Structure 1
Amino acid sequence: MTDRYSRQTLFQPIGETGQQRISQKHVLILGCGALGSANAENLVRAGVGKLTLIDRDYVEVSNLQRQQLFTTSDANEQLPKVVAAKARLQEINPGTEIEGHVMDATSMSLEPLIKKADLAIDATDNFDIRFILNDVCQKLGVPWIYGSCVGSTGMSYTVLPDEGPCLQCLLDTVPVTGATCDSVGIISPAVQMVVAHQSAEALKLLVEDKEALRAKLVTFDLWRNHYQTIGVGRAKNESCPSCGESAVYPYLTYEAQTKTEVLCGRNTVQIRPNRKVSLEELSGRLERIAPVKSNSFLLSMEYDSCRLVFFHDGRALVHGTNSIEKAKNIYYKLIG
């Protein structure tokens, strides 16, 4: 091996054999924000053979506090995150092949890409896409590493198809909040803690040391000095539609996906998620971001030059744009 990886190969669980395996593996990272950019840098520096990056967004100044691959010039130029990340990563290690996709991830676009990967890392910002990722990976038998963080908290779990609970199983057991970075903020150390767990698990999988994998869900709150690992083996549900004995992968069907459409002549995008929302709970979260108006039927707010209206059935209207991409970006920032 070259001197580039000399300190890594001195680490006995990796060694020369493990380094060779890392160099032959292909990792897909879904999302190039805080978690995605940091995981990507860790894996490129570790010498991963190929990295596929997927993200639909561009760099903004507010990203720079925690998204370590990007610079002020990237934000000024509004470069797509995938483009900016790929350029920086190739400077860090020209030996890694990097494939970038500036796109909105869907079941149709993800499946052919994950099919080529040895591992997927979740670095997205919403559960709609996570559920699709979960179903695709279960269907193809590809391991993936869940990660999320907001405020000073975070969690991570390694999902091994056919061997343990999937994301759907976990969420039937472990509650999650709807908080987002835009509603309650985030500190960079929380990002780095989740990344440390994700990248370490990734290296274990890449060198094929499955016995070293952490079988538990890890959660923490750095500000309140809480750290917990939770055994979730019993959460695996044999009747789970995503990973059970008769799995049907529900989030890959059209009916289960979030649907969007531009409303003719109204400069408005309608978003129809696959679930209902509690307007009372949503109002409490959104009031931290901007003033909210509500009545018995809907609530509305102004955000990022657009006016958003939310209904009991889950629908949202994003007034002030005909861009589905912009509307979805705003929606997920607020809803999570």
Structure 2
Amino acid sequence: MNERYSRQELFAPIGKDGQQRISSGHVLIIGAGALGSGSAEALVRAGVGKLTIVDRDYVEWSNLQRQQLYTEEDAKNRIPKAIAAKNHLMRINSSVSIEAIITDASVLELEDWAPTVDLMIDATDNFETRMMLNDVSQKYGVPWIYGACVGSYGISYTIVPGLTPCLSCLLETVPLGGLTCDTAGIISPAVNMVVSYQISEALKILVGDLDSLRNKLVSFDVWKNQYSAISVDSLRNLDCPSCGVERFHPYLSFENQTKTAVLCGRDSVQIRPSSPVMRDLEELETVLMKQGKTVQRNPYLLSFSVHPFRLVVFKDGRVIVHGTKDVTEAKGLYHRYLG
């Protein structure tokens, strides 16, 4: 057992002292899909002290192509990802304390978890959660590592409160549209690259070597052989509502969260975006049809089916998910197909 981390301890920037710091660290991972499962495995193998994994979904067959922790048995039995991840991770390293939480992370949960952890890793699938993570990070002084990938493209950025610009500094508004893995696909090398960037930065933070952090927003396309690392220090905004001088953490307030409502007697959930948005229904139709979806569109709305559900998208950004009264299930479909 004493040899378990010997190769990691031989790496001078970590050493035995750094390994002890890693072994006393507590990391929160939001999302246990491709990025989350890859990051969780890397941290468990590195000997992190405690890992809290949060995910609202279960394992599906389409996950197995890139979500490395899961097996056919998990997909067959629709095991919740957080539980499946914990089961497999405990067989990799039983000395790590692993907490599996099956839930849709909201402001209340994030504010409860953040003060107890040393680092948060973004492995979610939507910008609403990322912006909540960003504000919680600034409010409680906990660093977090942003990561995303779709197709062959990936991006990552490390945010340390008080030292770096936050995600809100980089984005004027929360982007509510865009491609997802379910509309544009994804290949596993893009996932693995983002995980490598996130975990490299995570280890630096856990051992306390902040001087070695990248301090750049890195993006790449492994298929097109493109790579960029952009310095964003100049984008730090003293008027930023999330990290500026008069910060008020807007994404932790109710009015800036996606609103959901179960429609009485209709077995349906309505989802309204957190800020006004006009959907380009023609563009959305093109994207969905490329994925083999049967789409119906008129000047006012678009509808398509994901068996056994039907989603109706309105120009004002509202979406009605028919076939469920489960708000978490409806939000999962919303973020999966509409960004």
- Hey, what does 2:126 align to over in structure 1? 126
Q: How far apart in 1 are the matches of 2:18 and 2:286?
A: 49
The letter for the 1-side match of 2:89 is: L
Task: For residue 306 of structure 1, report the CA deviation from its aligned partner.
Answer: 1.3
Aligned length: 336
| 1:203-214 correspondence runs (5 A) | 203-214=203-214
- Hey, what does 1:268 align to over in structure 2? 268
Q: Does 1:187 align with 2:187?
A: yes
Q: Deviations over 1:234-292 (max 9, x none)?
A: 11111111111111111111100011111111011111111314223433332323132
Q: Deviations over 1:199-241 (max 9, x none)?
A: 0000000000001100000000000000110111111111111
Q: Does 1:246 align with 2:246?
A: yes
Q: Does 1:278 align with 2:290?
A: no
- Hey, what does 2:335 align to over in structure 1? 332
SS in 2 for 1:246: coil
The letter for the 2-side match of 1:129 is: T
Q: How far apart in 2 are the matches of 1:287 and 1:240?
A: 39
SS in 2 for 1:110: helix
Task: For residue 78 of structure 1, report the CA deviation from its aligned partner.
Answer: 0.3
Task: For residue 88 of structure 1, report the CA deviation from its aligned partner.
Answer: 0.7
TM-score (norm 1): 0.97
Alignment identity in percent?
57
Q: How far apart in 2 are the matches of 1:252 and 1:174?
A: 14
- Hey, what does 2:142 align to over in structure 1? 142
- In the alignment, structure 2 segments of 5+ residues that lack a partner are none
Contact 1:308 1:319 in 2 (8 A): yes
Q: How far apart in 1 are the matches of 2:160 and 2:279?
A: 33
Q: Deviations over 1:55-112 (max 9, x none)?
A: 0000001000000110000000100000000011111111111111100100011111
| 1:18-57 correspondence runs (5 A) | 18-57=18-57
Q: How far apart in 2 are the matches of 1:35 and 1:277?
A: 30
SS in 2 for 1:266: coil
Q: How far apart in 1 are the matches of 2:209 and 2:3?
A: 23
CA RMSD of aligned residues (A): 1.6
Task: For residue 298 of structure 1, report the CA deviation from its aligned partner.
Answer: 1.4
Contact 2:127 2:175 in 1 (8 A): no
SS in 2 for 1:3: coil
TM-score (norm 2): 0.96
Match of 1:301 among 300, 304, 308: 304
Q: How far apart in 1 are the matches of 2:180 and 2:23?
A: 35
Q: How far apart in 2 are the matches of 1:279 and 1:247?
A: 33
- The alpha-carbon distance between structure 1 residues 173 and 81, as it changes in their structure 2 partners (threshold 3 A), is closer
Task: For residue 176 of structure 1, report the CA deviation from its aligned partner.
Answer: 9.9
Q: How far apart in 1 are the matches of 2:157 and 2:323?
A: 38
Contact 2:127 2:174 in 1 (8 A): no
- Hey, what does 2:161 align to over in structure 1? 161
Contact 2:128 2:174 in 1 (8 A): no
- Hey, what does 2:230 align to over in structure 1? 230
- Hey, what does 2:2 align to over in structure 1? 2
The letter for the 2-side match of 1:306 is: F
Q: How far apart in 1 are the matches of 2:306 and 2:171?
A: 30
Contact 2:218 2:230 in 1 (8 A): yes
Q: How far apart in 2 are the matches of 1:156 and 1:132?
A: 17
Q: How far apart in 2 are the matches of 1:176 and 1:169?
A: 17
Contact 1:279 1:311 in 2 (8 A): no
Q: How far apart in 2 are the matches of 1:310 and 1:294?
A: 9
